[in-house]
Amino acid sequence: MRKLFLALAIMSVATKALADRPKTDSSKCTAPEYRQLDFWLGDWDTFEPDGSGPSQARAHVDAVLGNCAVHELYEQIDGLVGDSFLSYDGVKKMWQQTWPTNYGGLMVIWGTFKDGMLTLEGEAHTRDGKTWTQRMTWKAEGKGVRESSVRSKDGGKTWEPAFDVLFLRHR
Q: Is residue 4 part of a domain?
A: no
Q: What is the pTM of this model?
A: 0.82
Residue 160 lies in a domain: yes
User: Which is more confident, 8 or 115?
Assistant: 115
11 domain residue, yes or no: no
126 or 17: whose pLDDT is higher? Answer: 126
* 134 within 8 A of 121, measured Cβ to Cβ: yes
Q: What is the DSSP letter of 71?
A: E
CA distance 137 to 117: 7
CATH number for the domain including 56? 2.40.128.20
pLDDT digits (tens, 9 = 90+) for 13-26: 444 544 555 555 54
pLDDT tens-digit profile of 31-45? 999 999 999 999 999
**Residues 83, 163, 124, 37, CA torsion sign:** negative
Residue 124 lies in a domain: yes
Distance CA 89, CA 110 (A): 10
Residue 79 in any domain: the answer is yes
Q: Is residue 65 part of a domain?
A: yes
Residue 9 lies in a domain: no
Residue 15 CB: number of other CB atoms within 10 A? 10
Task: Count how many domains the chain has.
Answer: 1
Residue 1 has pLDDT above 80, yes or no: no
Strand partners of residue 43: 60
- Structural domain range at position 44: 30-169
Q: Which of 141, 138, 140, 163 is nearest to 150 (CA)?
A: 163
At 28, is the pLDDT very low, low, confident or very high (cuts 50, 70, 90)? confident
* φ, ψ (nearest 5 deg) of residue 34: -70, -15
18 domain-assigned: no
Q: Which amino acid is at 132?
A: W
